[in-house]
Amino acid sequence: MSQLLNYKLEGEGHTIVLIHGLFGNLDNLGLLARSLKQDHQVLSIDLRNHGQSFHSTSHNYLEQAQDVEALLDHLAIQRCTLIGHSMGGKVAMKLAEMIEPNVEKLIVLDMAPVHYSQSRHDNVFAGLRGVDSAKPTSRKDAQNLLAQHIELEGVRQFLGKSLYNNGEYLAWRFNVESLGDNYSEILGWQSINKIATPTLFVKGANSDYLLAEHQNDIQQQFSNAKAHVIANTGHWLHAEKPEEMLRTIRKFLS
C-alpha cells in the first residue's frame, strides 16, 4: 500500500481537487479553496515531496497522479473536477487520462502538456541549497540567504511559506534533493492518450509557460479544450488575480 498524501477536505457538494505546483503546498490555492468550499467539497493536497506529504526519491507524473488517485479511492470520492497549477496542472492532466470517466471537468492553470527544455529554477535551487547548508535560525536570515540567489521578493516570500523549525534550525518541508534530482522529470512530459473531458487552459497573459505554439500539442491530447487568458498577470495568476480567476473557474464549472 502506498503512503497517503497529506490533505485538507472542506465543504460539501461536488468535489473539486486543487493541485499545487512546484515548491508549493496545499495552502497555495487557498484563495480559490476559500471561495469554492462555500458550494463544493474541496480537496486540497500536498503532492509527494511537498508540504507534509511523504518524501520519495522518485518524482514523476505517473506516480504523482497515482498518489492522488489513491487518495480519492481512500476518501471514496467517485466524481470530481481537477484544478492544477503549473506542475500540478501536469499531474491533473495525467490523472484525467487515468480516471477519465470520473473527471467531470479539468482546469489547467498556466501549463501546457509539453516537455519544456528551458530550466527555470536554477536560482531557486541555489537559494534553497544555500539555506539548507547555512541552517538559519530566523526567517530574516533565511530570506537574506534566498536573496543572494533570487531577485524577486514575491518568489522568496512564496518559498518561505515552506520553512519550518525542526527544533534546531529552519528547514524546508519539501524535499530539495529529490526535486533537484528529478527536475528533468518535472520539465518533461509523455503525451497522454486523447481525452474528451471538458478542459480549460487558463493562461497568465504575461507568462511564457502556455504559448500559441502549444496549441497543436493541446489539440492532440484534448478533444474538448478551451483557452482563457487573464490579462496583466504572470504565472501566479491565482495569487495575482484571485477574483478574476474565480470568475473564470465558476463560469466554466456552470
* Active-site option among 86, 121, 162, 207: 86
Q: What is the percentage of the chain residues whose pLDDT exceeds 70?
A: 99
Cβ pair 214, 116 in contact under 8 A: no
pLDDT at 246 over 60: yes
Considering only the top CATH level, what class is 7-116+188-253? Answer: alpha beta
Q: Is 216 helix (H, G, I), strand (E, B) or coil?
A: helix
Residue 93: closest CA among 223, 191, 226: 191
86 is catalytic: yes
Residue 29: closest CA among 249, 225, 221, 251: 249
Let me know how many helices (H) and strands (E) the chain has, helices first: 11, 9
* Active-site option among 40, 85, 235, 238: 235
What's the whole-model pTM score? Answer: 0.95
- Where along the chain do the CATH 3.40.50.1820 domains lie? 7-116+188-253
162 is catalytic: no
Query: Confidence band (pLDDT; 50, 70, 90) for 152?
Result: confident
pLDDT at 2 over 70: no
Query: Confidence band (pLDDT; 50, 70, 90) for 153?
Result: confident
CA distances from 201 to 2, 228, 235 (A): 31, 6, 13
Q: Mean per-residue pLDDT for 92-111?
A: 98
Q: Mean per-residue pLDDT for 100-121?
A: 95
Q: Is 3 helix (H, G, I), strand (E, B) or coil?
A: coil
